[in-house]
Amino acid sequence: MKFLIYGAYGYTGKLISKLAKDKRLNPMLGGRDAIKTKALADELGFDYRTFDLSESDKLHEALNEVDLVLHCAGPFSSTAKVMMQACLSTKTHYLDITGEIEVFELGASFDQKAKDAGILIMPGVGFDVVPSDCLASHLKSKLPDATHLELAFMSESSTSRGTALTMTQGIGKGGAIRKDGKIIPVPHVYATRKLNLDGKEKSFVSIPWGDVSTAFRSTSIPNIMVYTAMHPGQIKKMKFVQKWRWFFNIGLVQSYLQNKVKNSVTGPSEQMREESHCYLWGEVKNAKGETHAAKLTTPEGYKLTAITSLMIVEKLSEQLSRTGFQTPSMAFGADLILNVANTKREDI
């Protein structure tokens, strides 16, 4: 299966491209910046194309050369729709590495069109949301009549520039949970709790993570909340942000914050990626009050994203049995994540 990595010279795109070289895959690289795209393609010995997503003819021309695109150019709330629509037109399978709820919902809205076109639409083939999606499906199998799902994660690593920009855009939006089958907006710091994921009890706060969308489709559980670890001091700052959400939506304020991110955030070092881990926890509960919980430990998030995204590309190259909108666990099962080395799941 011939595939295109678009956004190849970004932090995560570059990790994926270099791993593809190590795995002796032969993707075509793509991106807006001709100099950066060519430099990476020359370094790795790959073919490349340069185009902006607004250049419709060039976009369609590139997609017509491949069977699948692995879209890595975020923020995906700004780029995914154009790429998905182009994939529908050219009958090109679509993968991305988003964690944004609205992108998952957009992909789901294209389910029938994707089936009609004979293509797969699978957003979230990286840390967002492969491990958490697989954990959710595993928990569902342990308690099939579950009505509530809670997921939590924490990372020992830092964030990339692209992730930080997405987070900055979301400051003024607040949180989100799923209640009675519907996604509803909630304030920042809507819920907090204490959890022990790595041997030490830490504070966790609810966030609008992608599983609020995807876990519902993977498990049919109607009530879903996702938490991340956060220092108590940072939780206080988030409560302040909630009171001033309107301020953080002002264009000049957003521009200032995004420029600050661009000038200061670089992403985790190679050493951090190799030495760090991610920890996930989940619990399901049914109407009788019965519960089942599990933990999952994986490699560092950006390293994991490179591994799982290419693992899914390779699996699709071997066999593509389902089309339309899919989550990773819907297509490949709850044990997909266990194919990643140094990953451990434990029922508790």
Q: What are the tens digits of pLDDT across the range 176-202? A: 999 999 999 999 889 999 999 988 999
pTM, two decimals, is 0.93
Q: Are strands 192-196 and 201-207 parallel, antiparallel or unpaired?
A: antiparallel
Rounded CA gap, 232 and 203, in Å?
A: 7
In terms of Cβ atoms closer than 10 Å to its own Cβ (0-12, 13-18, 19+), residue 312 is buried
Ordered strands of the 3-6 beta sheet: 48-50, 28-31, 3-6, 68-71, 93-96, 120-122, 324-325
- CB–CB of 154/279 below 8 Å? yes
pLDDT of res. 323 = 96
- CB–CB of 289/281 below 8 Å? no
Domain residue limits, the chain:
3-126+303-332, 130-300
Residue ranges of the chain with per-residue pLDDT less than 70: 158, 160-172, 242-246, 248, 261, 265
pLDDT of res. 156 = 83
CATH topology of domain 3-126+303-332: Rossmann fold (3.40.50)
CATH code, 130-300:
3.30.360.10
Collect all residues with Cβ–Cβ distance below 8 Å to 273 and sequence separation of at least 6.
Answer: 15, 157, 299, 300, 302, 303
